[in-house]
Structure 1
């Protein structure tokens, strides 16, 4: 059969569009210039209630993350949440202002550090002409990890986030958080068994309220929270382990058994001793190796209420 004769004879693209519902443009009667358009969101009336938050979420954007450990500068993707309260007398907000400001900061090189996020939030509050503004940015943070015996280097990562609220009268409220993975070995299993003990991967979630005067140039909050989680675990997680490394990690875990209850109390103790931490929430979730369920424990503590 001739290949040319076997091809479908399709109508032109414009006709295909019409076939699936496209129609000719109708008459244009409304203004196209912005200054002549109605601005419904800027309407001022009594709209019954003040709104806790109005904004945009799940905004993904390239960011630069500084770190005190290698790699000391990394480009990654941040997921943003932006919002402000809305007074009872305002109908709404101009959503484009959130992403316009994000692009403006990106054009100047968008580093996700505390000082930049504080300035961003204050600028946003002024731009929105509201009494406050807030942002949250979540991102993966990568860090080099050496094997304990051979020193072989690989790359680990943790999920990090930074939350900044600014109020024109009350100032800043800053929270940072980290979700890191660790190894835990069951104390009960070690105690009752003739030999060996079961272990599992644990997920530690830490969120703290920072002192507004915290100096990020002197300390990296990501590194501090990671150390609080890992130094209290049965063992750390490593991307590269040769046999001598595996022997060390296995023996270390056996020597440092931990329940989830132990984990959150030990981490809380470290956070309590850090002056820059004003309030903290710690949670540990163990993916149990001999059960289908997870084991959990958590602590919330506010040092400002002592």
Structure 2
């Protein structure tokens, strides 16, 4: 078969497109002007059920993050969910307004500050003509950590999450979460072995509800990180020289922790924080001598009268 470009000449681009299946536009009869187009979302009838949350999820977007720990100003990439409520009589929402609002806030410098999140959901509910709106953002938060002996510095990161809810006639609701990694050394292994003990990387997730009307005076991310690291066998470090490695290894041996120990100790710190209204603490130890993980969880609401400790 003769090559279509035997003379070292390709056919024009429109011909190439037709070669691979492109066709000419089909003449249409439907309106092309927005005001003349049918708006299905605004149809009203009895649509069986109200919807508590409808919107967009898995939205990736840059966000400004402020921190009490260096780097104190950073840009991170957040994964977002933006939703509103929808009454039973309404068919749908105008979803383009959700990302339209996000772009408007980006141009103003969208940040993870709790006050900004409250402003965002309030304005979103009004823009959408709904009684309720919610935004959830998750992003990697970077913090500087220095080696305990040599002082060499580097960046660690933890996963931060903020969920802010506005509902007409109700106070704002804000739930924040931090997932941080620590070292835990097995107390049982230390107790029964003639020497040494196995350790593992622990993942501590602290989810707390705070009052956005009177937010903590200090960075909530740093507060939760301190609760996890100060109760662990050892913190993790991005840079360790031999003197540092000796220090953290011995520190872990001196502070053995079961997952049960971790969730109770972290819970005690959160219980003592006046800014925390309710909390959930999870610890998952990635076992070094098993294929499974060890896991524990505590869920506690300080607002419930007579709650037993």
Pairwise same-fold verdict (TM > 0.5): yes
- Measure, in 1, the Cα distance between the counterparts of 2:257 and 2:71: 31
CA shift, 1:37, in A, is 1.2
Residue 225 of structure 1: aligned partner: 224
Q: Is the partner of 2:261 in helix, strand or coil?
A: helix
Provide the C-alpha distance between the structure 2 equivalents of 1:119 and 1:76, rounded to a whole number of angstroms. Answer: 20
Aligned 8 A contact 2:115 2:212 in 1: no
Secondary structure of 1:171's match?
A: coil
Shift of 1:145: 0.5
Aligned residue number for residue 213 of structure 2: 213
Matches within 5 A, 1:28-47: 28-47=28-47
Residue 297 of structure 1 is matched in structure 2 by 296
3-state secondary structure, aligned to 2:125: helix
In structure 1, the partner of 2:18 is 18
- Alpha-carbon separation, structure 2, partners of 1:6 and 1:30: 45
Q: Distance in 1 between matches of 2:233 and 2:155?
A: 20
- Residue 192 of structure 1 aligns with which residue? 192
State the TM-score, normalized to the length of structure 1: 0.95
CA distance in 2 between counterparts of 1:300 and 1:139 reads 23
Q: TM-score, normalised by structure 2?
A: 0.94
Secondary structure of the equivalent of 1:305?
Answer: coil
Deviation at 1:286, TM superposition (A): 0.6
- Once the two structures are TM-superposed, the CA of residue 8 in structure 1 deviates from its matched residue by 6.4
1:143 is matched with which residue? 143
Answer yes or no: is the 8 Å Cα contact 2:182–2:203 preserved in 1.
Answer: yes
Alignment of 1:1-306 (within 5 A): 10-216=10-216, 218-306=217-305
Deviation at residue 26 of structure 1 after TM alignment: 1.8
Report the CA distance between 1:7 and its aligned residue: 7.1
- Distance, in Å, in 2 between the alignment partners of 1:228 and 1:76 is 23
Listed as ranges, the gaps of 5+ residues in structure 2 are none
Structure 1 residue 10: Cα displacement: 4.0
CA shift, 1:200, in A, is 0.6
Residue 28 of structure 1 and its aligned partner are, at CA, apart by 2.9
- After superposition, give the CA deviation of every residue in 1:157-214 in whole Å (9 maximum; x if it has no partner): 0010100010011121100000000000000000000111110111111111112333
Name stretches of at least 5 consecutive residues in structure 1 with no aligned partner.
none
User: How many residues are treated as equivalent by the alignment?
Assistant: 301
Question: CA shift at 1:110, angstroms?
Answer: 1.2
Post-superposition Cα deviations, 1:11-38, rounded to whole Å, max 9, x if no partner, equal 3321222233222112232222211111
Range moving further from structure 2, 152-161 or 10-19: 10-19
Q: What displacement does 1:6 show?
A: 6.7
Q: 1:266 aligns to what SS in structure 2?
A: helix
